Structure 1
Amino acid sequence: MRRNVLRAVVALVAAAVAVAGYLQVHGDFQRWSDESALDGACDGLLDRNVVRGVLGAGAVEIENERRGAGLVRCEVHVYGGGAVEIRILDTSQAGQYPDSLFTGSQAVFAVPVGHGWSGLFGAGREDVEREDLFSATEYENVTTSLVLKCTGTRSPKSLYVSVTTDGDASLDDPAERPEFTRIATSTASRVSKVRNCGAKLGKSVSSLGLPVTKDEYEPLGTADGTCSGIPAAHGLAIATETARGGAPHERCLLADADHRTRYKLEAYFGTYAQQQLFLAAEDSFEGTPDSDTPAHQRDPGGRMSWTSAKCPDGQALFTLQPWADGGQRRKYPRSDADLAYERAALRAFAERSAKGHGCSAPATP
């Protein structure tokens, strides 16, 4: 319903200004509407031809917003076409924006962009009841996020670009899926040049995996992605995973034979790890990751197990959380057998994840 209302409003506004441009300024917001509006969107960091190629040639409305140091945000709406939100962030400021780095949702795992890019491709999900009473899956809020490692002497250490498409989206056709990444990759290329980043850029994205829904299980013993190598023991038999491919964030869920989730494992690299460590330093609980102690820690209350490794782009962080269906951390005491399995699972997960990113061997849990 919200998306339909948004489209109706955008259509009316765009139709009203199709022949006459205008600029409105309200504090940190700027709304532009004319044929050249794309040239000024997001500080001029968008490729006008690419945006037009993806969203269409209709009348355009732009909303620019600055949200403090290091973050630029804009929205692009095209009448009769599509709408996107673009965020560009100096990652040294990522700790100031806890929700700034895209990791996917709890229900849908983001997959690696690949093709030489350090990034994620994911989507939200709606469960829709159709007339035949069968549940169907529709994706919404499709996001491509990219991290640029800068080499310039007068540039930020790294930059982050994300593009979110808000609206009904079909991702089922593998041939059409790469279209969702074009604005992100073209913007990243321009950002790297304008901000003197000098990052090594990826190639054109010609293929993409489909985001993985939480209920896509497979036997743990045959896992060959982010859950590979984790022992199928201690009642754990089912895994939900994505492929590996240089993504800055990786995830693995472990479940028992009845498909009840027992553990969640995550890996963070580069600016993703820096943000997690920054947030942990703000946390008042003991047993959270400590950037000054790159080794395994365990909170006796069962909050988290973690370890770390040294990587080309800084310290990586690997975590394990006991989990219960419904998204709640298990708070009851764990047995010695539980703890022994957690050490083995975290070690296997961290070792393979670190190796895939060219990192040193993680500290032994």
Structure 2
Amino acid sequence: MALMTGPRSPFTQLVTRRQVRGITAAAIVLAVLTGLVAWFAGSDDRALDEACGGALAADEVRTVLGDREMDVTSSAQGTFGDGRDTSLAVRCEAIAEGRGRVRVTIAGAPRPRAEYGTGELPTAVPAHDTLPVPIGHGWSGVLATDNARQGDPGDGKATAAVLLDCARGGRSLLITVETALGGATLDDPATRPSFVRTATATAQRADDRWGCGARLGTPVRGVGLPVNKDEYEPLLGATGTCAAVPTAARSAVSTARETARARAPREICALGARDGAPRYRLDAYYGPYAEDARAQYTRNDGEGVTPAEKPAGRLGQSAYWAGADCPGGAPRALYLIRADDADGEARARPDLGYERTALSAFAARSAEDHGCAAPDTP
């Protein structure tokens, strides 16, 4: 099959294992310089080393998947230049039969506006019942899973995301790694760091590969377990993402599920009744997550004024939003509070005064932790 190129026209080539050695490096260089698409597949070591535009942390992938032959696919599209909008979109995957797979995406931001709100941005928050935990160790990132209980169907599957704020122009790189391993359990504290190290090591290589110049973290020795829906505690005395959020007698809000306070692109505080039954959910979005969340509202007809149009306001019967300017030309942070009890009391008889107070406290604490300005609140 012949190789085809043209200005702004993707090219695709299927290759054999032997052919990978001859064309991969040239294809990657061409993709970076011209913004075209490069794709290859193979099963040898060089294919893994050169996957994701040469940014994949191949040694960490080998550590996770073991000493087995792997099927590797990779694509690189777009550029990460000096312009305001970026088009970089890189994907690769390694599959070891009988062991599992590692799937990696690297996305440049800010994207062209039309690309937000389409559901393509990896969220690293795959389920409603568990809260993602910050990676810590100086990284702006999270570890998330569908279920963190040993022996449950989601055990052994996790998503780690790292956001690199580049040194200039308000640009960033978002590295997302989905790992699925047979026979592994996230309940084991020795296992969790291995799910994260592929993301942090790939982030280091991506930072150098595309000249991001971000502030990088340190090696991850340990990471917390995502928080399950039954792991609630008294809201009074909360020290993590729910710190400073008040209780509410009318709304029966007295418990919380939270994670540690750390530099993370997504933060959640879940508020509940005395028995942990859900009442409200507070969310903080930074970087490309904030831009994507705002774009979701531009695609919802009938909402009236939305976070895509004003710094702060009210959504529907029981929801408010706030926003804050962040340093370095980064997108405005977005903070939301929403009733979280389906057809329950908080949604049927919303306590609007409490919602505004809780959102203001949550947004102020989060914005300060991220070095952002005091939020605009409703």
Shorter-chain TM band: 0.7 to 0.9
* Alpha-carbon distance in 1 for matches of 2:107, 2:273: 40
For the residue of structure 2 that corresponds to 1:348, the secondary structure is helix
Matched with 2:4 is: none
Q: Is the 8 A contact 1:122 1:144 kept in 2?
A: yes
* Alpha-carbon distance in 2 for matches of 1:152, 1:362: 23
Q: How far is the alpha carbon of 1:118 from its aligned partner?
A: 0.7
Q: Are 1:117 and 2:135 matched, yes or no?
A: no
Matched with 2:239 is: 224
- The percent of aligned pairs where both chains have the same amino acid is 39
For the residue of structure 1 that corresponds to 2:186, the secondary structure is coil
Bigger mean CA offset, 49-58 vs 82-91: 49-58
For the residue of structure 2 that corresponds to 1:182, the secondary structure is helix
Q: Are 1:95 and 2:112 matched, yes or no?
A: no
Q: Are 1:37 and 2:47 matched, yes or no?
A: yes
For the residue of structure 2 that corresponds to 1:43, the secondary structure is helix
1:43-54 to 2 correspondences below 5 Å: 43-54=53-64
Closer, same or farther: CA 364–42 of 1 in aligned 2, 3 Å: closer
1:216-365 to 2 correspondences below 5 Å: 216-233=231-248, 234=250, 235-287=252-304, 289-295=306-312, 297-299=313-315, 301-302=316-317, 304-312=319-327, 313-325=330-342, 332=348, 334=349, 338-365=351-378
Q: Are 1:55 and 2:65 matched, yes or no?
A: yes
Q: Is the 8 A contact 1:125 1:140 kept in 2?
A: no
* Alpha-carbon distance in 2 for matches of 1:184, 1:323: 31
Letter in 1 for 2:245: I
Q: Is the 8 A contact 2:91 2:106 kept in 1?
A: yes
Q: Is the 8 A contact 2:107 2:174 kept in 1?
A: yes
Q: Is the 8 A contact 2:41 2:73 kept in 1?
A: yes
Q: How far is the alpha carbon of 1:216 from its aligned partner?
A: 0.9
Deviations 1:120-152 (A, max 9, x none): 111122879x8xxxxx67524211101111125
Q: How far is the alpha carbon of 1:245 from its aligned partner?
A: 0.5
Q: Are 1:203 and 2:221 matched, yes or no?
A: no
Q: How far is the alpha carbon of 1:113 from its aligned partner?
A: 0.8
* Alpha-carbon distance in 2 for matches of 1:53, 1:91: 30
* Alpha-carbon distance in 1 for matches of 2:117, 2:41: 26
Q: What is the aligned-residue RMSD (CA, Å)? A: 2.9
Q: How far is the alpha carbon of 1:86 from its aligned partner?
A: 0.4
Letter in 2 for 1:31: A
Letter in 2 for 1:98: G
Matched with 1:6 is: none
Q: Is the 8 A contact 1:273 1:316 kept in 2?
A: yes
Q: How far is the alpha carbon of 1:197 from its aligned partner?
A: 1.2
Q: Is the 8 A contact 2:272 2:280 kept in 1?
A: yes
Letter in 2 for 1:157: R
Matched with 2:166 is: 150
Matched with 1:215 is: 230
* Alpha-carbon distance in 2 for matches of 1:57, 1:110: 30
Matched with 1:141 is: 157
Closer, same or farther: CA 103–181 of 1 in aligned 2, 3 Å: closer
Task: For structure 2, list consecutive stretches of 5 or more residues without a partner in the other structure.
Answer: 1-15, 25-36, 79-86
For the residue of structure 2 that corresponds to 1:124, the secondary structure is coil
For the residue of structure 2 that corresponds to 1:166, the secondary structure is strand
Scaled by the length of structure 2, the TM-score of the pair is 0.79
Q: Is the 8 A contact 1:280 1:288 kept in 2?
A: no
Q: Is the 8 A contact 2:320 2:338 kept in 1?
A: yes
* Alpha-carbon distance in 1 for matches of 2:68, 2:305: 50
Q: Is the 8 A contact 1:288 1:304 kept in 2?
A: no
Matched with 1:73 is: 91
Deviations 1:161-191 (A, max 9, x none): 0111123431223233211112111111111
* Alpha-carbon distance in 1 for matches of 2:59, 2:364: 43
Q: How far is the alpha carbon of 1:225 from its aligned partner?
A: 0.9
Matched with 1:174 is: 189
